[in-house]
Structure 1
Amino acid sequence: MLTYGYWNNKGGTGKTSLCFQSVCFYAHANPDKRILVVDVCPQANLSELLLGGLDNGGSDKLLGIQGLVPRATIGGYFQQRLPAPFTMPSAVRFDDYITTPATINADIPTNVDLICGDPLLELQSNAISTLANTNIPGTNAWLAVIDWLKDLLELSSNRYDVAFIDCNPSFSIYTQIALSVVDRLVLPVMADDSSRRAIQNAFSLVYGLKLPSEIYSQYAFATRLRDANRSLPKVHLIAKNRITQYITDASAYAAVLRSIDADVDGLLRSNPEMFTFSDLEDGFVSIRDFQTTGVVAFAKGIPLYALKPGKRQVMGRRVVIDAEYKANMVHAMNGLVAML
């Protein structure tokens, strides 16, 4: 199973919205493939979108799933692992945590399954971190905990072809658990200086580059995984998200975007093993601002390709979806998915 992770340790880059559209577009274009979505974010926005969005009761449906016994979410699975952190409990069943969004939201492709997100992750974080740092002779406690998601996916009996993981904009322990099973990273960035710094921080956190001191190196995510002979995720795409609606990237942001290109180009030359691409142009994609079209799509939990242009009601207000604008959005997402 090939696994894509959508992550940036900076919030507000459009990570979840891009992941939602990527999942739907990919599943729609590949109906013969089975797709698994794992929402490893305590906000669980991706789960709400797949279950219908704000305007179609996605939040209420998610609350119902979180109320099941066992709790059918990633937090529910972690809850079962807390008393048995170093060995997989025999009582854990993969299907207990699976929701098929199409049975709730008819606009989602039927070949998509979901492990819902859960605010419990924030409450569990300190306990999980403590367990990971337990000193047990003969046991790599950190690796055993980092493998929690890997352990669960191994119970899926290889029924899926591709997985998409929406990661929290942090580098907390549950984000590391998610990233440890990712094969290919998709990094959304905005055209601003903070996104440029976030890209630099991302490479430091995941790959241990430019750490301020050797003291940190022995505890770094990359060091610990490499010491266990585990592979690190490779950067597959950097999505310049929310670019304005012009033919090329908006000129006001061009200098920042070029600086991001230059930073990545330098890393591509010095650390080619961190990337799935060798040419800079193969690793970047520009996504125009979804604007009103995106607001409607996310409010109703509808993929852009299924969104009908014209007048629509959203949360009691009437808005207009422009057909040409929508076509531009669909074209942009088709371009991104073609690179997966």
Structure 2
Amino acid sequence: MPKTYAFWNNKGGTGKTSLCFQALTFYANQRPDERVLAIDVCPQANLSELLFGGLTGQGSDVLLARQNEPTRRTIGGYFELRMPNPYTAPQIDPHAYIATPAEYNTAIPENIDIIAGDPILELQSNAVSTLANNQIPGTSPWIKVVDWLRDLIESLGEEYDTIFIDANPSFSMYTQIALASADRLVLPVMADDSSRRAIQNAFSLIYGLKLPSAIYTQYAFATKLQAEGRALPKVHVIAKNRLTQYVVSASAYTAVLRSIDADVKTLIAAYPEMFSAKETADVMVEIRDFQTAGVVSFARGCPFYAQKPGRMDVMGKRVRVKGEYLQNCVDSIQQLVDEL
């Protein structure tokens, strides 16, 4: 199996998709001999739109065209294939669901492919959950369903070296399918108290820590996955995003960051098997505010390293990207990519 990174946080708005987009494009650009696959397991499909060209490059039109083909060429189309016989892996042609973003967006490295996201995942969610929770003697419907994405990855053999998964900010069944196929977790957080709680929630959902009652243990993701002899994904990076929407004093901001560090240090000491590193410094990465550079990058579907400073037109408006700010963005993402 290739190295597989899932970008996920149960809390929305933590910059998960933006970090996944920048990290995977930086990673692929710096490793042209590797094949990289992005899998967008999020109904919003924002990662797909970015890779296909963003707002100004008609990325949404490319995505919509793939969703509207007779067989949806998306992750939702693959799930449609699995639903009639959910517990038996069919003969899969994975390339039916794979696109090469560079064919639509020249800013994207040619060694990146993608299985695009699809809003139909929300419609499929209840049906998939029902299939997973059926009671069938002699088999485990839950593991059969949770392995849908793993089956697809295995059907690709050694075609890809690294996989990046953008997972939905939820813990729905399709999110569990995404996380069960990953071996490393990138957890973006904000510098606020709600993100401190989000870290705790993430460890409860994935690893079954500090559940409110023992009654939940038998239903926990960790319990069911480990019962099948399967390993849980390890926390590889916790990315602290610094966004200017938090108008707080520097001292208060620093205090929150330090408290997050302290929480993670305690978790590593108590549960080292849940992390891929042994020291807090090897897990934590700080990401600077992207500011205008981020607005332009995501509107154009253009990675920071390929972006130029100066004034440019974005949807009829002239905006200016300062070279210093752009370099700060490049340096921040590089710190994250250096950990992958």
How far does residue 259 in structure 1 lie from its aligned partner after superposition? 1.0
SS of equivalent to 2:313: strand
CA distance in 1, matches of 2:253, 2:60: 35
Give unpaired runs (5+ residues) of structure 1. Answer: none
How far does residue 251 in structure 1 lie from its aligned partner after superposition? 3.4
Provide the aligned length of Structure 1 versus Structure 2. 335
* Correspondence list, 1:1-340, <5 A: 1-90=2-91, 92-243=92-243, 250-340=250-340
Paired-residue identity, % = 64
How far does residue 195 in structure 1 lie from its aligned partner after superposition? 0.5
How far does residue 243 in structure 1 lie from its aligned partner after superposition? 4.9
1:237-289 CA-to-partner distances (Å, cap 9, x unmatched) read 00011256xxxx94331111111111111111110000011111111111101
1:1-58 CA-to-partner distances (Å, cap 9, x unmatched) read 0000000000000000000000100000100100000000000000000000011111
SS of equivalent to 1:163: strand
SS of equivalent to 1:139: coil
* Partners of 1:102 and 1:109 within 8 A in 2: yes
The TM-score with structure 2 as length reference comes to 0.97
CA distance in 2, matches of 1:290, 1:321: 10
CA distance in 1, matches of 2:158, 2:15: 30
CA distance in 1, matches of 2:150, 2:272: 26
Letter in 2 for 1:51: F
Letter in 2 for 1:56: G
1:282-323 CA-to-partner distances (Å, cap 9, x unmatched) read 111111010100000000000000011111111110000101
* Partners of 1:205 and 1:221 within 8 A in 2: yes
CA distance in 2, matches of 1:81, 1:277: 36
Moved over 6 A (4+): none
CA distance in 2, matches of 1:301, 1:88: 35
1:131-158 CA-to-partner distances (Å, cap 9, x unmatched) read 0011111110000000000111111121
1:177-234 CA-to-partner distances (Å, cap 9, x unmatched) read 0000111100000000100000000000000000011110001000001110000000
CA distance in 1, matches of 2:315, 2:333: 25
* Partners of 1:243 and 1:250 within 8 A in 2: no
Q: Note the aligned Cα RMSD (angstroms).
A: 1.0
CA distance in 1, matches of 2:24, 2:177: 21
Letter in 2 for 1:186: V
CA distance in 1, matches of 2:83, 2:114: 22
Letter in 1 for 2:174: Y
SS of equivalent to 1:278: coil
The TM-score with structure 1 as length reference comes to 0.97
CA distance in 2, matches of 1:287, 1:128: 36
SS of equivalent to 1:285: strand
How far does residue 161 in structure 1 lie from its aligned partner after superposition? 0.3
* Partners of 1:27 and 1:111 within 8 A in 2: yes
Letter in 2 for 1:231: A
* Partners of 1:243 and 1:286 within 8 A in 2: no
